[in-house]
Chains A and B, each alone.
Chain A
Amino acid sequence: MTENMDKQKIRHFLSDHSQEAALVLIILAVGTLVQLRTGGSFLTASNLNELMREASMLIMVSIGMMIVIVSGGIDLSVGSVMGLSGMIAALVLRDHRQIPIAALFLIAMGVGLICGTITGFVVAKLRIFPLIGTLGTCDILRGVIYLFSKGEWVSQTDMTENFLAISTGTFLGINYMVWFAVIVVVFGFVFMGHTRFGRHIYAVGNSEANARISGINTERTKWAAYMLSGMIAGLAGLLWVCKYACAQGTSATGFELNVIASVVLGGVSITGGSGTVTGVVLGSLLFGMLSNILPLIQVSSFWQRAIRGAVILISVIINALVSRRAARKALERREQNETNE
């Protein structure tokens, strides 16, 4: 009896977390494959640290994007927000070399927050279809970068040692960038899973009509999602400048597509209402892995993008099939419940 219960529990857990479980398996499979192809030189501490460093920005921004997508929207402007916040922080640093690093973070995140507030206004308040609204803000913000930079770059020589150390320094043997990602993930985990606002975001994404009738301020909820996403993108924009030791007009162009792919890969429903932080972290990790280690195993660069795309597509197809099956199972259970009554 108890054994049965345990089995049932495990089955429930697996069916609720099928996407995460599948991602773990795929990540392990890819890791093993690479380990074999490279003759065992892949799984070293320094390689893994480097991999995490590469994936850290993607993970962070994906958490922000997840919040927006779960709320039923999408944010195509995050790449531009990263570029803009990075550029403004870099310009401030060039002109005021004595500025404390913390102030730079505040500036970058502040710029991101302002961008997110504008995007949120367009989508939540003016009720512009998110895909179109954020496509517009994406281009506008990209243009604003050039206005601020006057078309110039901010290069390594304009930056201070302290600043550049953010991307190279370590704490407890782990890169600072990874720590930032960890902070954002923990925040996402608590926010989405354990706060009222998080619950409201899921509710709005699930059914706006229901959320409204249930007394949730749907406008404010959606707006807040974009603000958070903007702020996180602002943070990531600063880290981007650190990592590449350069701020230019085209920084992080198209990054939003990688982010959306990671979020979807992580099992977040693109129509909103469902998805987990764990899934998103695993999805971005897998995406980061595919981008960074395919070259390691001498996959032709012609194939890299195609393989990445295929993995996304296959994973999404499997996810769709699994969730359809789950929906059917629920209906069957419902019929059973009814005949029992």
Chain B
Amino acid sequence: MSEYVLELRDITKRFPGVVALNHVQFRLKKGEIHALMGENGAGKSTLIKVITGVHKPDEGQMLVNGEEVFFQNTNDSAAKSIAAIYQHSTTYVHLSVTENIFIGHELKNRFGLLDWQEMHRRAKELLVSLGSGIDPHTLMGNLSVAEQQVVEISKAVSANAEIVIMDEPTAALSKRECEELYRITEQLRSEGKSILFISHRLEDMYRLANSVTVFRDASYIGTWSIEEVTNEILVQAMVGREIKDLYPKAKVTLGETALEVKGLSRTGYFRNVSFSVRKGEILGLTGLVGAGRSEVCQAVCGLTPYDSGEVLLHGQSVRFTHPAQAMKKKLGYLPEDRQLQGLLLPWEIYQNETLSSLEKYKSPAGINKKKECEDGEQLSARLSVKDKNIFEKVSALSGGNQQKVVLAKLLNMDLDVLILDEPTKGVDVGAKSQIYAIMSELAVSGYAIVLISSEMPEILAMSDRIAVMHEGTLVKILDRQEATQEKMLAYAMNSADDMLKGGD
């Protein structure tokens, strides 16, 4: 038998327009906890989906216990004793704990009916064995996130999982709950199970893992045992890529303050966030996923409410309850999810571009379609949208070109402050540099821009100043000159004190 319970060799997975995994490898030993680390978008989630059979790899081999496997779906991976516990738990909140644990492999009595008594008894047994006192009759929705995770783990154990994958299990847990999770994870290891643990937190890794693998930009970077790894090695591995010449940031003399946010708070989302942007300035807003960047900006734009704090637009205090009001005051928002929030996929290009500014085309006969189409042509040309014509449906465009259409929609309005939420997410390199060029041009022409991004090189290259968020608070605003990837990552993980000691 092989030394490894799970081995991935030279796996490649492509999606339209992006390579999500580029000839990566990964090896998991029996009875170890293996941490997988990397920035957002490094390919960790895709790897899990390949292992669990959600995605089929385009190239490469996968072996379980030395034997090559080809998973068609998650049932196949479950049959090989692989179980995954996801970041956003996939539980049924209206069902009881027992039902959640046994869903898909329910026990039946001799009449072929569900054997509730036995299932409740075993559920209780499982939970007790994990040191938890949860009553199996409780509805899942009444449990805390941490308790739900314990149930998820019980579910994996009840299905006799030998390989347990945990995707950011500690992201939503308090310190004490984390300890509980560490304890259970170690218990699983001592029972001979192998665990793949994904986390952004260095703390988790040091506390738990036997070895750590780092991915970056869809590629495998390296694997270290926990004894030999250091902070410097890790951070270098996670961020140390070459920055190509794709960031055309122009020098701009900054004007007066356009947007100022003072002490904005929303319980459960973000606390006391303050920043400002001047005309011609690009303010980078970064942090790990879930740090509350988008939430703050959506509150500023009137998409979601906030509890306290103040928003000033050109020195005037405003409070928007609807994005339409924000747009009237020349503040526009480019949403993170362009497919769901930015575009109407079945619509034609020009109709998407003019959707927010239809007043411009008012005519006695309704909408002046001729002018609308002319503007559509102009916008598409200005942003070099690659299309056959403006009557093509946006669903047929590539990710980058779709994003340019969303940008065109913003540019067709009369705005002077733009909030761009992950404008280059899922966009290929060519279109990326075009989007940067547009951003730079907009800044020169006097727009104030807030750029939300998880991509460190992009933030570093495009921003005049960089605000870093961690778990709902804004921890640091860095100047362009002083910012480095290491510093940003350190602040984003809120472990700047530990990590920067070595660097300075």
Contact = CB atoms under 8 A, between A and B. Distances in A.
A40 B16 CA distance: 57
Interface in A204-239: 206-207, 209-210, 212-217
Given A334-B16, A338-B17, A338-B398, A196 B347 contact: no
Interface in A179-222: 190, 193-196, 198-200, 202-203, 206-207, 209-210, 212-217
Contacts of B396: 330, 333-334, 337
A338 B366 contact: no
Interface residues on B, range: 35 or more
Contact of B341 (A210, A217, A333): A210
Contacts of A139: none
Given A195-B366, A199-B351, A214-B355, A273 B343 contact: no
Contacts of A335: 16
Interface residues on A, range: 20 to 34
B397 A213 contact: no
Contact of B343 (A210, A330, A333, A337): A210
Contacts of B393: 330
A210 B340 contact: yes
A203 B344 contact: yes
A199 B358 contact: yes
A338 B428 CA distance: 10
Main SS at interface, chain A: helix
A210 B361 CA distance: 20
B289 interface: no
B359 interface: yes
B242 to A, nearest CB: 23
B356 interface: yes
B303 interface: yes
A241 B367 CA distance: 37
B327 A341 contact: no
Contact of A196 (B303, B324, B367): B367
A176 B421 CA distance: 56
24 contacts: A193-B366, A194-B365, A194-B367, A196-B361, A196-B362, A196-B366, A200-B358, A213-B303, A213-B342, A215-B323, A215-B356, A215-B413, A216-B324, A216-B356, A217-B322, A273-B344, A273-B346, A327-B395, A330-B393, A330-B395, A333-B396, A337-B396, A338-B428, A341-B428
Given A210-B344, A213-B303, 11 more contacts: A190-B365, A190-B366, A196-B362, A199-B351, A207-B340, A209-B335, A214-B323, A215-B323, A215-B327, A337-B398, A341-B428
Interface of A: 190, 193-196, 198-200, 202-203, 206-207, 209-210, 212-217, 273-274, 327, 330-331, 333-335, 337-338, 341
